[in-house]
Amino acid sequence: MINKAVARRYAQALLMIAVEKDSLGQFQEQLESIVGAIISDEKALLVINNPRIQPEEKKAYLKQYFNSGVSATIVNFVNLIVDKKRESFFLDIVKEYARYADEVRNIVNAEVRSAVQLTDKDFRDIESRLAKHTGKNVRLNMVIDTSLLGGIVVKIGETVIDGSVVKRLALLKHHLRQSQFEGIGVNK
């Protein structure tokens, strides 16, 4: 839990700067680019996560990931994280920043699970219905789930809308068990 609190504080601080500089998307792209480069380099992970390596050495090593397109604000932000010995939280900070940036842009992420690939028309229809329902722009992620017999399951944040055939059959079974059939001569 403390990891989330630390990540949120740093992400919120960067977000305030990004909003002030009108660089929300630019900062997000740069952070994600740095994270991708670090994750793909096993040595970088070892250097960053090694508590015996001094912050100055870590910052010198990280310089290779700061191309000419990386803003001074992001460079300073990453250096601050290293100076404060918070590099183990870097991935969480970037995730939290992306989440906060989406909130500012009025974007919500949704996952749609279906047994088969949806057509483009169905995909757009679901996207527009969810946008109308949430009042936000929806970023839809499609997942094929062969365990579903049919229908779809939508997850937005912590909310799950289960329109699958399996769920409908379970509800029907529950209703049938609750029904009174004795009146028509059927024994339970």
CA angle 9, 23, 57 (to 5 degrees): 60
Asked if 162 contacts 138 with a C-beta cutoff of 8 angstroms, the reply is no
pLDDT confidence band for 148 (50 / 70 / 90) = confident
3-state secondary structure of 22: coil
Q: Which domain-ending residue is among 60, 80, 103?
A: 103
* Domain presence at residue 130: yes
What does the alpha-carbon distance between residue 54 and residue 33 come to, in Å, rounded to a whole number? 24
The pLDDT score that the predictor gives to residue 182 is: 54
Q: What is the mean pLDDT of residues 30-41?
A: 90
The crossing angle, in degrees rounded to 10, of helices 90-104 and 2-21 is 50
Whether 37 and 120 map to the same domain: the answer is: no
Inform me whether the pLDDT recorded for 83 exceeds 90.
yes
* Domain presence at residue 157: yes
Whether 81 and 112 map to the same domain: the answer is: no
3-state secondary structure of 152: strand
* Domain presence at residue 155: yes
Whether 118 and 25 map to the same domain: the answer is: no
Inform me whether the pLDDT recorded for 167 exceeds 60.
yes
The crossing angle, in degrees rounded to 10, of helices 24-40 and 90-104 is 150
What does the alpha-carbon distance between residue 100 and residue 107 come to, in Å, rounded to a whole number? 10
Judged by average pLDDT, the poorest of 39-48, 132-141, 161-170 is 161-170
Q: Could you tell me where the DSSP H helices lie in the chain? A: 2-21, 24-40, 42-49, 55-62, 72-83, 90-104, 120-134, 165-178
Whether 24 and 74 map to the same domain: the answer is: yes
* Domain presence at residue 187: no
Asked if 7 contacts 96 with a C-beta cutoff of 8 angstroms, the reply is yes
* Domain presence at residue 38: yes
Whether 92 and 152 map to the same domain: the answer is: no
* Domain presence at residue 37: yes
Inform me whether the pLDDT recorded for 16 exceeds 80.
yes
Which structural domain range is residue 143 located in? 107-178
The pLDDT score that the predictor gives to residue 176 is: 76
The model's pTM is 0.74
Whether 88 and 26 map to the same domain: the answer is: yes
pLDDT confidence band for 89 (50 / 70 / 90) = very high
Higher pLDDT, 20 or 158: 20
**Dihedral sign (CA 83, 89, 90, 93):** negative
Whether 98 and 115 map to the same domain: the answer is: no
Q: What is the mean pLDDT of residues 152-158?
A: 87
Whether 164 and 129 map to the same domain: the answer is: yes
Higher pLDDT, 185 or 10: 10
Inform me whether the pLDDT recorded for 183 exceeds 80.
no
Whether 154 and 70 map to the same domain: the answer is: no
Whether 63 and 127 map to the same domain: the answer is: no
What does the alpha-carbon distance between residue 94 and residue 27 come to, in Å, rounded to a whole number? 10
Q: Which domain-ending residue is among 59, 83, 103?
A: 103
How many domains in the chain? 2
Whether 135 and 84 map to the same domain: the answer is: no
